[in-house]
Amino acid sequence: MRTLLPLATLVLLAGPAACGPSPTPASPAGAQGEVKVGPSQAAASPAFDLSPVAEPAAVVGVLRWGNPAATLSSLAACGGLSPTVADASAQAIASTLLSELVSSSIDTNQLAGVLALDAPVHLLVALDESAKQAKPMAAVSFGLSSLERARGALEAGATLTEVKPGMWKIGGKEPSSSSCFLAASAGSAPARLLCGDRDRDVTALGPYLARTLPTLSPEERDLHGEVRFVPISAKYGEMAKRDLRGLPILAQSQLAIGQPQFDRALTDAATAVQGELAALIDDAGKAFIDVRVDSQSCMNLTAGLELRGQSSWLAGTMADEARRAGPAPALYWRAPKDSYSAFFDQGGDPARYGDILKTLRAMLEGWLEKEKIGRPADRKALADVLSLPVNQPAASVSAHGDIPPAPAAAKTGQAAPNELLDGLLGGFIGWNLYGVDAAPDGLIKYLKNAVVAYNTPGLRTRLPDVDIDPKQLPTVKTVPAPKDLGKNALAVEIQIKDIPKLDDGAAAGSTPPANKAKPKPTTVTLHLLLMGEEKTTWIAFGHDRRELLRRLTMVKAGAPDAETLASRPGLEPLKSGKFVYGGFTTLAPITRGIQNVLTTLSGPGAGSGLLPPEARQFGDALAKLPHKGEGLMLVTAQDQGGAAPRPAISINLSKPVLEDIGALLVAGLQMAGITKP
């Protein structure tokens, strides 16, 4: 297992580098779904028995990647990468992959030439039924285009010892981190390289990997992987449940503080966790991941769980949420059109979280009392922050965007006060909106109480005794709300003081003049604005108050659709279907955030030495992205309720997203000197 995780990453890297035009997949044939061998591949010797064998007992993990070359060639095409760029590093990456597996005495460049990347790659993990310890068996299988060529490449630096007909142990002259075998194979590849951590792993799983998995009908998905919990539960479930019974006692012995309220709540929490984990052992069926690639939607990734029941709190919560699944709520389409990301949640039942929050409040109050922080009323006020301001299921929306650097420096040639810091905040904090289908009264009361609790003198005076300096905490206060927000409004101001001011005139690594005064610390002010309508509440957060007011104006009921998501193309899939959660994100929060920082630090008032040349080159590459990082990545979560819930989340990487990623990859290769501009 210690070698297989890095291998998975290397396989993903090797595929796009090794692929050119998509090879034609072999078509299935035969009653058992055996894949025909292509005409260019040498057939395995008929002397070897390649008939299918039964699946090993207690398989807990399977991964099937049907045609890595075709999958990743399609991804490269979606990303606008030419075969020349892909082929440039194919041999080096394939050799790196093999060097993680075989002895250093083997010429991995020669062996890489025998890898068949158009043949399926398989990974198998199973429990070792005969072992006393719980260490699983695991092996990975790669197709080889020729058995004889593979033998020739291996025998130049290793000895091949036949352990059974058609299967040879690869013994290198130098030790390797894994145990590898060469095997004759059924299916589209005449031979396979089988590797695992131990000889026993490969000899036990190898026949199924070489003779059965390659002959199964091709997956409808490009890649399918699953983790099966049922065999694990069958073997270790009862033992795990017995061990979990000691969790409350362990929690008391290690975490109790001698305060009755805290210690009782701690026992309640540990007992609840013990019961939940025991129930999950019974509920868990399998976890799965699927990847599909096509020329239209480019790449779709789906991951989820299959549960066998809903005795656990988690399974019951998922089943409850499934009942509220549907298209994106009306509130979602009022979010700003230029959002870099925007998500909706259909809302769960707050009552399901009541006991959890009650226990956390009791633990907080007990700890505060133990430390003698504040009066009982003060402690209760702070603990009440751990509550939900909405007591009914309510759909909610969140959206985020950035604030470009101020143009003052570009016009005047000099940086305005705090302009560098404002540029950083605009890129990384930007503006943030949260909307909920609930009347504003409860949220206004909650936020006011939270501010009062934060500023309670009785709580602050004892903070130094627990190594917290109140003077270093941000100041939080309510201030008059802007009139534009209407009568149901609230404004909270958060100030973070004594932040070192960026020396906008000094070059990086240079020594400032002796007579130059040290920049004085500055203060950053963040704003939280709440705008309440009859049955809807919007909250905006960020550092630019004017920008937040502008965004809240956009989302008001009755505002023109032209500035909202209702007029943004590409979101049509969210208008139908049954989702418990969904939305989109883009690369822009990352690319524009970095770009804003680079623009700010390289502006007229920033000093030319703040950025190295490589950073400027990367900034230029970000500015030249074909889609400016604004391609949509749709994210949706669907829950199949009922007696056996099946929650799953899907992510779609569209062609614009992959083209931007491809452009960054090409720019990176050019900066590294691997390819020429």
Domain boundaries, the chain: 4-228, 261-508+516-671
Per-residue pLDDT at 517: 59
Structure tokens at 567: 């007029």
Measure the CA–CA gap between 642 and 308, rounded to whole angstroms: 10
pLDDT at 264: 97
* 668-674 contacts, C-beta under 8 A, 24 or more apart: 668/621, 669/85, 669/88, 671/614, 671/617, 671/618, 671/621, 674/88, 674/89
Q: Residue 657: pLDDT band by 50, 70, 90 thresholds?
A: very high
Averaged pLDDT score across all residues of the chain: 84
Local confidence band at 429 (pLDDT 50, 70, 90 cut-offs): confident
Q: In the chain, what percentage of residues exceed pLDDT 90?
A: 58
β partners of residue 284: 307
8 Å CB contact between 652 and 300:
yes
Mean pLDDT of 261-290: 97
* pLDDT of 642: 82
- What tens digit of pLDDT does each residue of 548-600 get? 999 999 999 889 999 999 999 999 999 998 999 999 999 988 887 777 667 66
State the Cα–Cα distance between residues 258 and 62, nearest whole angstrom.
49
Block residue for tokens 């920008």: 547
SS3 668: helix
Which helix (H) or strand (E) covers residue 114, if one does? none
Give CA–CA dist 403/17, Å, rounded: 37
pLDDT band per the 50, 70, 90 thresholds, residue 296? confident
* Integer Cα distance of 209 and 221 in angstroms: 19
Looking at residue 20, its pLDDT comes to 35
Quick one: which H or E segment has residue 47?
Answer: none
Residue 399 pLDDT greater than 80, yes or no? yes
Tokens encoding 468: 């917290």
User: Do 189 and 145 contact (CB within 8 A), yes or no?
Assistant: yes
Higher pLDDT, 331 or 514: 331
Mean pLDDT across the stretch 218-228? 92
Rounded to the nearest angstrom, the gap between the alpha carbon of residue 464 and the centroid of all alpha carbons in its chain is 38
Does the structure show a pLDDT above 80 at 423?
no
* 536 neighbors 557 (Cβ within 8 angstroms): yes
The per-residue b/e assignment along 452-468, b for 16 or more CB within 10 angstroms, e otherwise, is ebbebebbbeebeeeee
Question: What distances in angstroms separate CA 265 from CA 88, 361, 424, one per listed residue?
Answer: 61, 9, 43
Does 409 score more than 70 pLDDT? Answer: no
Q: Is the pLDDT of residue 154 over 80?
A: yes
**Using an 8 Å Cβ cutoff, are 137 and 79 in contact?**
no
Q: Two tokens at 267?
A: 């026992």
